[in-house]
Amino acid sequence: MTHVSKMPGHLIRRLHQISTHVFMTRTREAGFDLTPVQFAALDAIRQSPGIDQAGLADAVAKDRATIGAVADRLEHKGLVSRKINAMDKRARKLALTEEGEALVASLSPIVEELQKEILSGLDEAEYRMFVELAAKAARAAGSVAKD
């Protein structure tokens, strides 16, 4: 019989908890008030200015309702602007405000640095292998675009 502590689902959930904790701790220490999903959304908007909410939902692998709420919070914080899409009046194009651009630029190095802390028990080769295998599994499940 398999113990739950050896099951991939349990380990993935546990790593997600660790990842979220490390992200929240390090970003708060640096004076930022942002969740991992909000950062992912800002980063995706930075990579694709003018993206609509449906595209953003796909980019960060969240449902549209969740992304709508995230976009609302980011707009309320003054980090994102939403404009009506001239091609589809129902859609809203998203862009970072100057404040949003500055926040992502300031926060990105912190987020990059904390990645190793999430998997602190791995050496460099194991870390790279973990990332490769996790990306492969996510792609196979259809939740991550191929690079």
> Is 145 among the domain residues?
no
> Is 146 among the domain residues?
no
Beta strands 80-85 and 88-96, pairing class: antiparallel
Q: What angle do CA 99, 103, 105 make, to 5 degrees?
A: 115
Which pLDDT belongs to residue 6?
82
Which pLDDT belongs to residue 141?
85
Q: What is the model's pTM?
A: 0.85
Which pLDDT belongs to residue 146?
43
Number of domains in the chain: 1
Which pLDDT belongs to residue 88?
67
> Is 122 among the domain residues?
yes
Q: What angle do CA 67, 70, 71 make, to 5 degrees?
A: 85
Interhelix angle 36-47/98-118, rounded to 10 degrees, is 120
Mean pLDDT of each 10-residue bin along the chain, 147 residues long: 78 94 96 95 95 91 90 96 74 91 96 93 95 92 57
Which pLDDT belongs to residue 147?
42
Which pLDDT belongs to residue 89?
66
> Is 129 among the domain residues?
yes
Give me the residues paired with residue 18 across strands.
none
> Is 98 among the domain residues?
yes
- Which CATH number fits the domain that encloses residue 85? 1.10.10.10
Supply the range of the domain harboring residue 23.
4-140
Which pLDDT belongs to residue 14?
93
Which pLDDT belongs to residue 2?
62
